[in-house]
């Protein structure tokens, strides 16, 4: 695989993980609601972190279909292997 393609994939994934870890107003509100409802709120809604993880899984699947699989390679979700940053 070309170095540029791999670097672009890694940079994009790292950006997604940084977005997932970013604490903003919505994350703060999620935490407050979680405390106020004894964490029952998470039975009804996804957290910001979970939403970004789904976005990452979709991105990895798309990259595998477009770039990696045609070259006989398979990109695995780093979270499945215990890594958070590629």
pLDDT digits over 44-84, tens only? 888 888 999 999 999 999 999 999 999 999 988 888 877 65
Q: What are the φ and ψ backbone dihedral angles of 20, each rounded to 5 degrees?
A: -65, -35
Q: Which tokens belong to 80?
A: 């499945």
| Per-residue pLDDT tens over the stretch 14-32 | 999 898 888 877 777 888 8
Residues 6+ apart with CB under 8 A from 46: 54
Global pTM reads 0.78
Element (H, E) at 61: helix 48-63
């Amino acid at each position: 695989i070309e170095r540029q393609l791999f670097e672009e994939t890694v940079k994009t994934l790292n950006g997604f993980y940084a977005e997932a870890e970013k604490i903003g107003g919505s994350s703060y509100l999620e935490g407050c609601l979680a405390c106020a409802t004894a964490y029952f709120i998470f039975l009804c809604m996804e957290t910001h972190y979970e939403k970004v993880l789904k976005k990452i899984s979709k991105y990895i699947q798309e990259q595998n279909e477009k770039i990696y699989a045609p070259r006989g390679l398979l990109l695995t979700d780093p979270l499945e292997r215990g890594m958070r940053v590629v």
